[in-house]
Amino acid sequence: MVTHGSLYDYPRYYDIAHSATTEAEGAFYRQVFDDRLNAFQTLLDVGCGSGRVMAELARMGIKCVGIDKNRTSVEYVNEKARRESLDMTAILSDITAPSIAGPYDAAICTGDTIKYIIDKRDLITHLKNVAAILNPGGLYAVDTSLVGPPEKYVGGAGEWTVVEGAVTVNGSFVAYAVDRTAKTERIRHQLRVVDGTDEYVLTEDAIFHALTFYDYEGIVEESRVFNIECCVGGDYNPANIITPDDETGDVVVLLRKI
């Protein structure tokens, strides 16, 4: 029997599907924040999902709190924290208006989660709300993919496979052409999982915002709560500082609270 469902309702399989980069992502954020903050001890993970990245940081001794709107993911994170005795908590909350108190030294938003906030006004509200729960001079690292000019960005697709014990995950994505008028794009993610004798087809078909770096730059400036500290290439190498242009794709934008 094959079970069909949302990939975010099966956080264990999401963990496995993205396990190839999890350790590198955790090390990356630890280095980036250690290099730029007087003390990096507390972290807010915005849209934490399965908690795979903040769990890496919690294992390094950072106190982590994550927010997510998916109840199953929140429960999974908190069970992982109990099982591994990690200083990590997940809370059910919307990322646009997080109902959580601070302050935190730093925040992260990984895996293109920021792109769920489609409306520009909501994105500005989001930045203001994150800034409000950061310490003075706190940092917010946003890992996202940007879109370039029409002749350079026409969509795409990819596939990968991860095997962990009795579990095999075949992941795929399809990015469709951008709606330039609405500044949105449709992306379909799918995980086909074999877990022993069980099979799952887990899908997400969503509309995301589609912004260039210059769009982001304008939104950050309009928010009046952050400055862009720097941008790092999407290879999780802290030394790979880049100067984005209208053809930049994957990037981590590092924001400094004003």
Q: What is the pTM of this model?
A: 0.96
CATH 3.30.56.10 fits 11-147+210-257, yes or no: no
pLDDT at 147: 87
| Res. 199: pLDDT tops 70 | yes
Kindly list the strands in the beta sheet with 104-109, ordered across the sheet, starting from the edge strand earlier in the chain.
Answer: 88-92, 63-68, 42-46, 104-109, 134-145, 250-257, 226-233, 241-242
Its CATH architecture, for the domain 156-209, is Single Sheet (2.20)
| Res. 153: pLDDT tops 70 | no
Numbered ranges of CATH 2.20.25.110 in the chain: 156-209
pLDDT at 190: 98
Decide if 158 contacts 173 (C-beta within 8 A): yes
pLDDT tens figures, 86-111: 999 999 999 998 889 889 999 999 99
Decide if 53 contacts 45 (C-beta within 8 A): yes
Numbered ranges of CATH 3.40.50.150 in the chain: 11-147+210-257
